[in-house]
């Protein structure tokens, strides 16, 4: 069940991330005009269409990241997003930030965060 106060807190957090992402992009352009682009595979704990769409929108609205593809889950594999990141030092750093975003989103939407799958860590 959605938690209104947690959704508000998530919205404030996303706003902060948008501002920080904008600063990162602007401050890195003179030094690294092409950044350190990479595409990472993000297996999700989000399961409903609303959760997956909310996660994809949250990623895409944040400067420096963009969802470029999706893969629907099966009984053995989770739904997956493929995310282009412009300024990540490593794949693990980018994934850690995305998992943090997913934790916050699921906390706001469900009120609880399921544990990460062992293949995600």
What is the DSSP secondary-structure string of 64-110? Answer: TEEEEEEE---SSS--EEEEEESB-SSHHHHHHHHHHHHHHHHHHHH
In this predicted structure, what is the pLDDT of residue 1? Answer: 65
Identify the burial level of 11 via C-beta atoms within 10 angstroms of its C-beta, where 0-12 means exposed, 13-18 middle and 19 or more buried: exposed
Q: What is the mean pLDDT of residues 102-111?
A: 91
Q: What is the mean pLDDT of residues 23-40?
A: 80
CA-to-CA distance for 89 and 72, rounded, in angstroms?
A: 28
Q: What is the mean pLDDT of residues 49-77?
A: 92
Question: By C-alpha distance, which of 13, 15, 65 is closest to 42?
Answer: 65
pTM metric for this prediction: 0.86
Q: What is the mean pLDDT of residues 112-120?
A: 69
Q: What is the mean pLDDT of residues 80-93?
A: 91
Contact 43, 77 (CB under 8 A): yes
- CA 60 to centroid of chain Cα atoms: 8
The domain spans of the chain are 4-112
Average pLDDT of the chain is: 88
């Amino acid at each position: 069940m959605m938690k209104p106060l947690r959704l508000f807190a998530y919205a404030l957090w996303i706003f902060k991330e948008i501002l920080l992402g904008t600063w990162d992009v602007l401050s890195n352009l003179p030094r690294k005009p092409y950044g350190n682009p990479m595409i990472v595979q993000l297996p999700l704990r989000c399961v409903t269409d609303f959760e997956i769409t909310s996660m994809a929108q949250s990623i895409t609205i944040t400067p420096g990241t963009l969802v470029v593809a999706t893969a629907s889950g099966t009984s053995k594999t989770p739904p997956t997003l493929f995310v282009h990141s412009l300024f990540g030092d490593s794949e693990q750093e980018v994934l850690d930030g995305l998992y943090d975003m997913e934790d916050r989103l699921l906390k706001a939407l469900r009120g609880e965060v399921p544990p990460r799958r062992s293949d995600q860590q």
